[in-house]
């Protein structure tokens, strides 16, 4: 069982705080924008040069000059601003962006992340991910708990080339929510219907389990 992609996005959206500037990565993180809680005012930053990104355009109103970092056509909210790539990464490196949500292939229990390269097989590049993870004070990784072969993506040590070291603070998977603490992955919430035993079986990295792990209410 576990959470579907939309539910993962919904859970992450609860981490948003009023007044946050947020960078959402490509894939599931993008869906977080659909679940921003009522009364919470956040601005979305897209590293290709937008602050105040809006939803997708209505059919027929796409503009080739207005895309997000995933190269998707988007719109601007009133009050949005456009800037060049150096200014964009000044916002990121300068820690003016409060929260980064991104996907990963592997996360280690010390907060290392790998998400840009599988040597000899897949080399797409890191895009803005290395800048984002090396700078953001608050980084949430959003990914499936296991890979297609059923192997844990929460590891004692990353096996793939790293994107950043010791930087991930929180991981939301289809099975649960984990804070990264000095002792490893601290399980703080279980997805509905998922047992601690299942999470234990599917987590290769050090896992810390509190006495009572609440089930997530969506």
Partner 1 sequence: MNKVVNNADAAIAGISNDMTLMLGGFGLCGIPESSIAALVRSGVKGLTCISNNAGVDDFGLGLLLQSRQIRKMISSYVGENDEFERQMLSGELEVDLIPQGTLAERCRAGGAGIPAFFTPAGYGTEVAEGKETREFNGKMYVMEHWLRADFAIVKAWKGDTQGNLVYRYTARNFNPLMAMAGRITIAEVEELVEPGELDPNTIHTPGIFVQRIFQGTGYEKRIEQRTTRKRS
Binding footprint of partner 1, residue count (CB under 8 A): 53
Say whether 47 is catalytic. yes
Measured from the CB of residue 92, what is the shortest distance to partner 1 in angstroms? 6
* Of the residues 163, 168, 170, 175, which one makes contact with partner 1 according to CB under 8 A: 163
* Of the residues 89, 181, 196, 209, which one makes contact with partner 1 according to CB under 8 A: 89
* Of the residues 36, 144, 165, 208, which one makes contact with partner 1 according to CB under 8 A: 165
Taking the CA atoms of residue 81, residue 116, residue 27 and residue 92 in that order, the dihedral angle to the nearest 10 degrees is: -30
Q: Which is nearer to partner 1, 41 or 84 (CB)?
A: 84
- Catalytic residue from among 15, 38, 47, 151: 47
Dist CA 22 CA 141 (whole Å): 13
Are 207 and 171 contacting, i.e. CB atoms less than 8 angstroms apart?
A: no
Q: Nearest to residue 161, comparing CAs of 134, 128, 131, 122? A: 122
Measured from the CB of residue 217, what is the shortest distance to partner 1 in angstroms? 29
Which one-letter DSSP state was computed for residue 214? P
* Of the residues 21, 27, 103, 130, which one makes contact with partner 1 according to CB under 8 A: 130
* Of the residues 18, 38, 59, 211, which one makes contact with partner 1 according to CB under 8 A: 59
Dist CA 41 CA 52 (whole Å): 11
Q: Which is nearer to partner 1, 20 or 89 (CB)?
A: 89
Q: How open is the CA angle 161-162-167, to the nearest 5 degrees? A: 170
Q: How open is the CA angle 96-101-117, to the nearest 5 degrees? A: 110
Task: Work out whether 160 is an interface residue with partner 1 (CB under 8 A).
Answer: no
Dist CA 210 CA 205 (whole Å): 16
Q: Which residues bind partner 1 (CB under 8 A)?
A: 46-50, 55-68, 70-74, 76, 82-86, 88-89, 92-93, 112, 120, 123-131, 134-135, 161-166
């Amino acid at each position: 069982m576990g959470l579907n992609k939309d539910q993962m996005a919904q859970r992450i959206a609860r981490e948003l705080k009023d007044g946050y500037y947020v960078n959402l990565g490509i894939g599931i993180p993008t869906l977080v924008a659909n679940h921003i809680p009522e009364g919470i005012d956040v601005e979305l930053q897209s590293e290709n040069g937008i602050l105040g990104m809006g939803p997708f355009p209505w059919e027929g109103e796409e503009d080739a000059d207005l895309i997000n970092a995933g190269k998707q056509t988007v719109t601007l909210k009133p009050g949005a601003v456009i800037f060049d790539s150096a200014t964009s990464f000044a916002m990121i490196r300068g820690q003016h962006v409060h929260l980064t949500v991104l996907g990963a292939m592997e996360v280690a229990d010390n907060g290392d992340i790998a998400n840009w390269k599988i040597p000899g097989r897949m080399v797409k590049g890191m895009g803005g991910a290395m800048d984002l993870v090396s700078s953001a004070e608050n980084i949430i990784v959003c990914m499936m708990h296991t890979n297609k072969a059923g192997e844990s993506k929460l590891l004692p040590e990353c096996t793939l080339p790293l994107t950043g070291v010791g930087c991930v603070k929180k991981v939301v998977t289809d099975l649960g929510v984990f804070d990264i603490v000095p002792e490893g992955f601290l399980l703080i919430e279980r997805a509905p219907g998922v047992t601690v035993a299942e999470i234990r079986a599917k987590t290769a990295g050090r896992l810390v389990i509190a006495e009572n792990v609440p089930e997530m209410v969506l």
